[in-house]
């Protein structure tokens, strides 16, 4: 009988430890450190708006970050704006030419030793195109989010469907 009581206590203590371990693993805020943004990370709360006149449009710039760059003349001076993949702009039927008045939403960053404005949204007239995710990652032309945005601006005959 003594052996049964000792075994019973051992099992109870073991079950308690297992349950306590899973309970503490589930406590709120346990992963708060991993959820914090690291310095230099894109945070949508830090987005600002730039508006100005396009001085230069380069579709395939080799200056980091690689992709479309626009030199924008603002009231505060000239700003290098990165727009991502040119194919995305072509799909959205958005043309940007020198002399155009454009508004960008995004934030400043550094690429190498150069300061560059990472545009998340582009507005030209009434047309708005997203070129980055809310996390600052450039959108790909075939991504689902892009397709949802573009479908709203595409005529019904061009939307395609199941084949």
Lowest mean pLDDT among 7-11, 103-107, 158-162: 158-162
Token pair belonging to 38:
């690291």
% of the chain surpassing 90 pLDDT: 40
Asked whether the whole model's pTM tops 0.75, one would answer no
Which DSSP string do the residues of 51-98 spell out, in sequence order?
A: EEEEEEEEEEE-SSSPEEEEEEEETTEEEEEEEE-HHHHHHTT----T
Domain 44-154: homologous superfamily in CATH: Nucleic acid-binding proteins (2.40.50.140)
Taking only the tens place, the pLDDT of each residue in 59-90 is 988 888 889 999 999 999 999 999 999 999 99
pLDDT at 31: 47
Domain spans, the chain: 44-154
pLDDT at 34: 44
Give SS3 for 78: strand
> Average pLDDT, whole number, for the chain?
77
**Mean pLDDT of all residues in 11-21:** 56
């Amino acid at each position: 009988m003594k052996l049964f009581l000792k075994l019973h206590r051992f099992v109870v203590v073991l079950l308690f430890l297992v349950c306590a371990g899973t309970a503490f693993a589930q406590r709120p805020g346990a992963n708060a450190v991993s959820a914090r943004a690291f310095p230099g990370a894109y945070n949508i709360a830090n987005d600002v708006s730039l508006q100005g006149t396009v001085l230069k449009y380069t579709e395939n710039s080799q200056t980091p970050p690689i992709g479309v760059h626009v030199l924008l003349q603002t009231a505060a001076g000239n700003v290098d704006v990165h727009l991502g993949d040119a194919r995305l702009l072509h799909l959205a039927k958005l043309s940007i030419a020198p002399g155009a008045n454009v508004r960008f939403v995004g934030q400043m960053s550094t690429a190498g030793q150069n300061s560059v404005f990472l545009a998340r949204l582009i507005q030209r007239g009434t047309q708005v195109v997203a070129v980055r995710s809310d996390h600052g990652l450039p959108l790909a032309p075939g991504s689902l989010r892009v397709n949802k945005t573009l479908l709203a601006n595409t005529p019904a005959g061009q939307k395609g469907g199941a084949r």
